[in-house]
Amino acid sequence: MTPNVLWIQSDEHRPDSLGCYGSAWAKTPNLDALAERGTLFMNALCQSPVCVPSRASQLAGRYPQELNTLFNDVCEEAMVMEGHVDPDILPQETVMFPEWLASAGGFQTVTLGKSHIPPRRPWQSEHLVVNDERYSGYYTLNESFNEDDFHVVKRPGGAPIIIAGTYPGRMDNPSRAITDEAISWMTHARDRNRRFLLRVSHNWPHTPVLAPPPFDAIYDPEEIPVRFYDDEAYLTRSDWDRFMADSHRMWELDERLMRQQWKDYMGLCAYVDFEVGRLLRALDDLGLMSDTVVVFSSDHGKALGEWGAGEKGFFDSEVWRVPFIWSWPGRIPEGEVRLEPCELIDTARTLSGLLGMESPSVWRGRDLFSGSNEAGEAFGQIGWPEAKVPMVHAKREPHWDCMRVAIRTARYRLDETWMAGGRRVPAEEADGNLFDLQNDPLERHNLWRTPAYATDVVSLRARIESWWNSLERPARTFGTPK
């Protein structure tokens, strides 16, 4: 029997906001119940801790550089604003799994909510919704509302994005709207003679972090184990990380504002959980639960000022690691927690395996429910190898003019500057982080230059080298700039 697929996606969603990921204080009953009915991947990593490359990589089953997609400046919205659209960003051989399910499997494919990928339309039907400007943008509330009345807090450094506050529209919000639309589509609009792939893609808990009532008050600020700014952790970080922290300056938030930021972010995660619950109840009421693979994932996580940085763009576990839950009653193991590192790039092959379809040869990753569960490794990358690459014509901010890469194993996380100025950075010049997750799960002590770990650094760098050598290097990203 070929099942339907319901893919629920969120944005900037930290695993520690969920009870099923070990946070006993978290109020996320619906995702916790989904995990009990399925398999939870405790150490799932995205391919890039930034929206566009992460989303493109998961859809296309390839690593970011192979898609000419290493930062957000190649999304269609950004390119339109900069006065140019390049429809050929993605290599010709790219196959996104919604396209494959439609062409090879006859699926109806629909996406609702946030897209944020390079210029491409891989879905048969889409309704793109992100923010409701009647109430708020990323940086300000609509001028109809006084921000003090809604307790708005903005990031101290960098772009003044909204990192805490109460949503003026209450339940009149995009997450509510796309859930309603998804329920209506499943109830009235779908072709009952065909299987479907339906993605419901929330912008939240991404900024603007504005929890709608009553979820703005679902947590007492004192009940959340806030990780306040840690100067010792800041000082041990790589130069790159400290640069990010110096840009965001999260240490300028006093204890009250830091607690509010955590409370409102976690409240918004609880609200996303509420909307997930509404959607899953509708799936069950329609008699579709037993015939549907449900996947929940986020494109990346979010830092909340633990060592001075906020948001994303680096490889901390809170940012690089993502929730990843799979359920299909009777077919996917129930109540199982898998500990080995895995990657969002595994999504395409895993779906193909569950659907009994042969995967396109260009897809990377593995089928998570076929073969060994042995501890693996995951890789990530972000940023351009050159200050100006052939395919990107707009000038970017200088701090993205290098490429960072990372590896995560069962025990270690290592990340470093891999390319800068179009050349590989020699080992003796590399700026990196190494964390022993077995002894330092909160990643407070960088061991990059610690003699006792020198052989581990060499070994992990060699594994990155092997992975790197296996990747395609498209000329549009790695060619000589004109």
Residue 355, domain CATH = 3.40.720.10
Look at residue 17 and give its three-state secondary structure: helix
Q: What is the 3-state secondary structure (H, E, C) of 292-334?
A: EEEEEEECCCCEECCCCCEECCCCCHHHHEECEEEECCCCCCC
| Structural tokens at position 312 | 């994303």
Separation between Cα atoms, residue 39 and residue 34, nearest integer Å: 9
List the Cα angle 304/172/26 in 5-degree steps: 35
Q: Using the 8-state DSSP alphabet, how is residue 292 labeled?
A: E
Number of domains in the chain: 1
Residue 182 structure tokens:
């998804």
- Helix 347-355 / helix 97-105 crossing angle, nearest 10 deg: 20
Q: Looking at residue 87, what is its pLDDT?
A: 66
Establish if 258 belongs to a structural domain. yes
**Pairing relationship of beta strands 153-154 and 162-164 according to DSSP bridges:** antiparallel
Q: Which domain holds residue 38?
A: 4-376
Number of neighbours of residue 68 by Cβ within 10 angstroms? 26
Report the side by side order of strands in the sheet with 44-45: 321-322, 44-45, 342-343
CB 165 within 8 A of CB 264: yes
Please report whether residue 394 resides in a domain. Answer: no
Give the three-class secondary structure for 276: helix
Determine contact, residues 323/13, Cβ cutoff 8 Å: yes
Q: How much is the pLDDT for 346?
A: 97
Residue 422 within a domain: no
Taking a C-beta distance cutoff of 8 angstroms, is the pair 40, 317 a contact? no
Q: Is 90 exposed, middle or buried (0-12, 13-18, 19+ CB in 10 A)?
A: buried
Ramachandran sector of residue 434 (left: φ over 0; alpha: ψ -120 to 50; beta: rest): beta
Return the closest-CA partner of residue 31 out of 51, 55, 9, 3: 9
Q: What are residue 199's DSSP bridge partners?
A: 7, 111
Distance CA 377, CA 341 (A): 5
In terms of DSSP bridges, do strands 310-311 and 4-10 run parallel, antiparallel, or are they unpaired?
A: unpaired
Query: What pLDDT shows up at residue 376?
Result: 83
Q: What is the dihedral of CA 109, 112, 118, 124, to 10 degrees?
A: 30
* Cis amide bond preceding 205, omega within 30: yes
pLDDT tens string, the chain, 482 residues long: the values are 799 999 999 999 999 999 999 999 999 999 999 999 999 999 999 999 999 999 999 999 999 999 999 988 777 665 555 555 666 789 999 999 999 999 999 999 999 999 999 888 999 999 999 999 999 999 999 999 999 999 999 999 999 999 999 999 999 999 999 999 999 999 999 999 999 999 999 999 999 999 999 999 999 999 999 999 999 999 999 999 999 999 999 999 999 999 999 999 999 999 999 999 999 999 999 999 999 999 999 999 999 999 999 989 999 999 999 999 999 999 999 999 999 999 999 999 999 999 999 999 999 999 999 976 565 899 999 998 887 777 665 444 444 678 999 999 999 999 999 999 888 999 999 999 999 999 999 999 999 999 999 999 999 999 999 999 999 999 888 887 65
Q: Tell me how far apart the alpha carbons of residues 32 and 45 are, in angstroms, rounded to a whole number.
A: 19
The answer to whether 169 touches 98, Cβ cutoff 8 Å, is: no
Element housing 326 (H / E): strand 324-327
Whether the pTM exceeds 0.75: the reply is yes
Residue 64 lies in a domain: yes
Strand partners, 419: 403, 424
Do 375 and 409 form a contact (C-beta atoms < 8 A)? yes
- For residue 63, what pLDDT is reported? 98
What's the order of all strands across the beta sheet hosting 4-10? 125-128, 108-113, 196-201, 4-10, 292-298, 324-327, 39-41, 336-338
Asked whether residue 101 is assigned to any structural domain, the reply reads: yes
pLDDT value, residue 373 = 59
| Helix (H/G/I), strand (E/B), else coil: 163 | strand
Q: By the 8 A CB rule, do 114 and 201 touch? A: yes
Residue at 4: amino acid letter:
N
Going from the C-alpha of 317 to that of each of 56, 184, 440, the distances in angstroms are 21, 37, 12
